[in-house]
Structure 1
Amino acid sequence: MNDTPRIRTVVSCTLLAVTVSAGTTACSGSKGHPLSTRPYDAAQQISFSAPADGRKADPDKALEITAKGDESRITDVTAVDATGHHLAGELTADGLRWRSTGSLTAGARYTVKVATEDGDGAPGTRTFTFETTPAKRALTVKFGPEAGKYGVGQPITADLSLPVKDKAARAVVERALKVRSTPSVEGSWHWVDDEKLHFRPKEYWPAGAAISVSANLDGVKVGDKLYGGESKPLKLTIGDRIEAVADAGSHYMTVRRNGEVINTIPVTTGKPGFSTRNGIKVVLGKEYFVRMRGTSVGIAAGSSESYDLPVYYATRVTWSGEYVHAAPWSVGSQGVANVSHGCVGMSTGNAAWFFETVRPGDIVKTVNSYGDTMDTFGNGFGDWNLPWDEWRQGSALVADAKNRTAPTEIARLRPSL
């Protein structure tokens, strides 16, 4: 290209009369383009990399717009898809080429507006549209739990249809997952494994909160030839703050609603060798009747520890079979000693009351047991046992994720007594 500065033609107009007839045209530059406020059609001055004739563009390839000839240059480009998302790009200093720097959305329709300037400074414009091909592999998200009303401890889950291992790709996914709460809360996603994330607030959800969860992934480039697909949003509401604390040392459970004690119940927890797990658990569900057998937790049939019992008012807190339930056979030990095989047992009347009072998502915490601490993942929702700073390390958006807790293997569904 000639580095000699271009000399622009000085254009002037001569006023011939005070009144100008309707047929009189505005002044023109040397190229014949009118120097008016209305830009000329710049179709002949620019070329596009997008295919013509209705063919669709590959979203993996950048969009390029180039100025033709030495006397034309591009001054501005805006590219917007049908949802209003702008495509980022860079214009060279000489105005001869614009190239997209952001990823094109798959299966989208774009409208591109290009502003130009000719050698005389006359403005031109050109608008064109094109479509991108749909994604061959689509990453979708299934949110959990099901829509409904839950307790203050209920985490949000996001199950991905395909594994995502790359940290940059995980960041793309996480940015697209939106959790909105009224009232607002501080919260974070945590990658459990390559296909599952959990979201929890720093503290429990506020009682009465309204929560909406969505994924803005549709058409978004996640990784190499992998794009997001459409995902169904989720809405939840939060009930009262119900917290039940079972003290294995005192053999009593204290139940609070919104901070106020509403019941104190004599209980029995796991005896030596079968100690109840310490820590915070979340109610997973309620089963009016469960058949509990010792063989399901590895106790040999016919041994001194063997059992096969009908159990009523069973509130599940782990997938491996820990419940809060009616245990009429141990009423004499409730409030006195720990004699169960890991569950929290109480009288039938108290178990019925507890069963009717709690809902999924409510908090059940065990303290002063000789058992291990509840697993963070894999055996229910032990999310709240991880300190907040460590929880945040499981986010792909946090720079230092070195101390991220590894997920545990999902436990088999088996009841214990």
Structure 2
Amino acid sequence: MSHSPRIRTVLSCTMLVAALGAGATACGSSDHPLSAKPYDAAGQIAFNGPVGSQKADPDKPLEVTAEGDDGRITDVTATDAQGRYVAGELTADGARWHTTAPLAAGTQYTVRVSTEDEGGAPGRKVLTLGTDVPTKKKRLDVTFGPDSGKYGVGQPVTAKLSAKVEDKKARAVVERSLKVQTQPATEGAWHWVDSKTLHYRPKDYWPTGATINVRSNLKGIKVRERLWGGDAKPLRLTIGDRIEAVTDAGSHYMTVYRNGEAINSIPVTTGRPGYSTRNGVKVVLGKEYAVRMTSASIGASDFYDKMVYYATRVTDSGEYVHAAPWSVGSQGNANTSHGCTGMSTDNAAWFYETVRQGDIVKVVNSSGADMDPFGNGFGDWNVDWKEWRGGSALLEGVKEGPTAVDAARLRPQV
């Protein structure tokens, strides 16, 4: 081993003892070894990191071991380029240190090793390494939705994953890395719709005028064996007025509210027996000036083929609020449609111009089935808050309220 000469402490003491038992000591010493300049500990340690320009496998732990019998490791710290520490463990005898948390992929690390020899002289060695960037097959990319822009108070945030995540621990890693920041602060939670899809919504509708920023901290983080976090484009949403359209299929009227105040009452017709309109809360998915509707699209036994105007879509399966001039005589009196909500052309044009994507359309008193929570547009608001929280990998079983929000916020970050 080659390093600066070992420095040993030499003590020289003279003790004077008086006849009556009183005494005093006078001692002198050389410099303490800890005050010496650290030697290069390269020959005192072994490191399992890559050599030269090679990259480390992020799936394998880092390890530093003491070489020979004349020294030991006293401390090791490993940090990434942002200064974040990697958890590690040093044995009591100073013979071995290893990481206890996974490394991130595609990241640079600095490992600082402190040692001492048998005489107590300090040694230092700084090691650097980079980790491999995973291939696309090993990368979990995230696509947030909808597109950045202005939406209604009912618009959920969505996260689509490029690979399935089934394990609960892996889901917790993903969910912990998906950040939703709102102004004003609003309690909300992610819900796993399936192994590749998450939705985020607040307990109640978004506040009017809210700003929502969504980002991912998942890049480079190990999700599970051979799968690391990948890319994600951040998302920014702003929320408009609270527009709610409530259709009472029993009275055949739709009342439209803006910020809690009724601004229009419209006679309508909804689905007739056998094609009854779904009950529950739906969210505006989009608007189309003209849509061709045919009996074949819903498997209706009676034939129809119509061009429909001022069509506002509320389900993926083809339920719209639209102009239906052929049924004006029934609007306000009877339900005659194949499931859509029909109204006069003037009223449909007004509705079309008034609502935006993310606004609320609610149907009550229909004999139809309830709106599906998922898989046919956004039925998210038909899930009560306790059940919604139960679909989170982080909040399941955590008590609701401010304490729960704080608990989620204070969880360790990966």
Deviation at 1:218, TM superposition (A): 1.3
CA deviation vs aligned residue, 1:242-284 (integer Å, no higher than 9, x gap): 1111011111111111111111111111111111000000000
Matched residues in 2 for 1:242 and 1:377: separation?
A: 22
2:307 aligned residue (292, 310, 316): 310
Separation (CA, whole Å) in 1 of partners of 2:354 and 2:61 = 58
SS at match of 2:126: strand
The aligned residue for residue 340 of structure 2 is: 343
> Aligned equivalents of 2:331 and 2:37: distance in 1?
88
Equivalent AA in structure 2 for residue 378 of structure 1: G
Q: Mean alpha-carbon deviation: is it higher for 281-290 or for 306-315?
A: 306-315
Structure 1, unaligned runs of 5 or more: 1-7, 15-25, 402-417
Structure 2 match to 1:70: 69
Mapping of residues 65-104 of structure 1, within 5 Å? 65-104=64-103
Alignment match, 1:226: 227
**Pair 1:324-2:282 in alignment:** no
**Superposed CA offset, 1:196-249 (max 9, x none):** 111111111111111111111211111111111122111111111111110111
The alpha-carbon distance between structure 1 residues 268 and 55, as it changes in their structure 2 partners (threshold 3 A), is same
Q: Distance in 1 between matches of 2:278 and 2:36?
A: 76
**Correspondence for 2:54:** 55
Q: Which moved more, 1:183-192 or 1:377-386?
A: 183-192
User: Quick check: 2:9–2:31 contact (8 Å CA) kept in 1?
Assistant: no
Deviations 1:271-308 (A, max 9, x none): 111110000000000001111112211123xxxx3222
1:37-87 CA deviation, whole Å, 9 max, x = no partner? 643332222221112223221111110111233342222221111233321
Residue type of the alignment partner of 1:295: A
Q: Which amino acid aligns with 1:169?
A: A
Deviates more, 1:260-269 or 1:110-119: 110-119
1:383 to 2:363 alignment: no
Counterpart check, 1:122 vs 2:158: no
Partner of 1:252: 253
Asked if the contact 2:9–2:30 (Cα under 8 Å) also holds between the matched residues in 1, the reply is: no
Distance 1:277 1:71, change over 3 A: same
Deviation at 1:373, TM superposition (A): 0.6
Superposed displacement of residue 159, structure 1: 0.9
8 Å contact kept, 1:11–1:28: no
- 2: CA distance, partners of 1:180 / 1:12: 63
Task: Please report the RMSD computed on the Cα atoms of aligned residues, expressed in angstroms.
Answer: 2.1
Task: Give the number of aligned pairs.
Answer: 375
Partner SS for 2:374: coil
| More deviation, 153-162/81-90 | 81-90
Normalised to the residue count of structure 2, the TM-score between the two structures is 0.86
Distance 1:58 1:341 in 2: 59
Letter matched to residue 125 of structure 1: R
Shift of 1:12: 5.3
- Provide the rounded CA distance (Å) in 2 between the counterparts of 1:298 and 1:388: 35
1:393 matched to 2:394? The reply is no
Distance in 2 of aligned mates of 1:37 and 1:266 = 90
Worse-superposed segment, 62-71 or 315-324: 62-71
Q: Post-superposition shift, 1:134?
A: 1.6
Amino acid at match of 1:62: P
CA distance in structure 2 between the partners assigned to 1:127 and 1:166 by the alignment: 37
Residue 409 of structure 2 is matched in structure 1 by none
Matched, 1:371 2:368: yes
> Relative to 1, partners in 2 of residues 1:319 and 1:399: Cα closer, same or farther, differing over 3 Å?
closer
Higher share of residues assigned strand = 2
Deviating more after overlay: 258-267 vs 80-89: 80-89
* CA pair 327-43 structure 1, distance change in 2 beyond 3 A: same
Name the counterpart of 1:296. 297
Specify whether residues 316 and 13 from structure 1 end up closer, same or farther in structure 2 by C-alpha distance, changes over 3 A only: farther
* Contact 1:274–1:340 (CA under 8 A) maintained in structure 2: yes
Q: Contact 1:275–1:342 (CA<8 Å) still a contact in 2? A: yes
Measured after TM superposition, the shift of residue 13 of structure 1 is 9.3
Contact 2:187 2:202 in 1 (8 A): yes
Which secondary structure does the structure 1 equivalent of 2:306 belong to? strand
Q: CA deviation at 1:399?
A: 4.4
Change (3 A) 1:148 1:399: closer
Distance in 2 (alpha carbons) for counterparts of 1:74 and 1:205? 54
- Gap runs ≥5 in structure 2: 1-6, 14-28, 399-414
- The one-letter code sitting in structure 2 at the alignment partner of 1:79 is A
Which residue type is aligned with residue 134 of structure 2?
A
Amino acid at match of 1:245: V
Contact 1:27 1:35 in 2 (8 A): no
Per the alignment, residue 108 of structure 1 pairs with 107
Length-normalised TM-score, structure 1: 0.85
3-state SS of 1:140 partner: strand
Aligned to 1:192: 193
Write the distance in 2 (CA, Å) between the matches of 1:271 and 1:13. 107
State the percentage of identical aligned residues. Answer: 66
Q: Is the 2:36–2:121 Cα contact (8 Å) retained in structure 1?
A: no
Which residue pairs with 1:410 in the alignment?
none
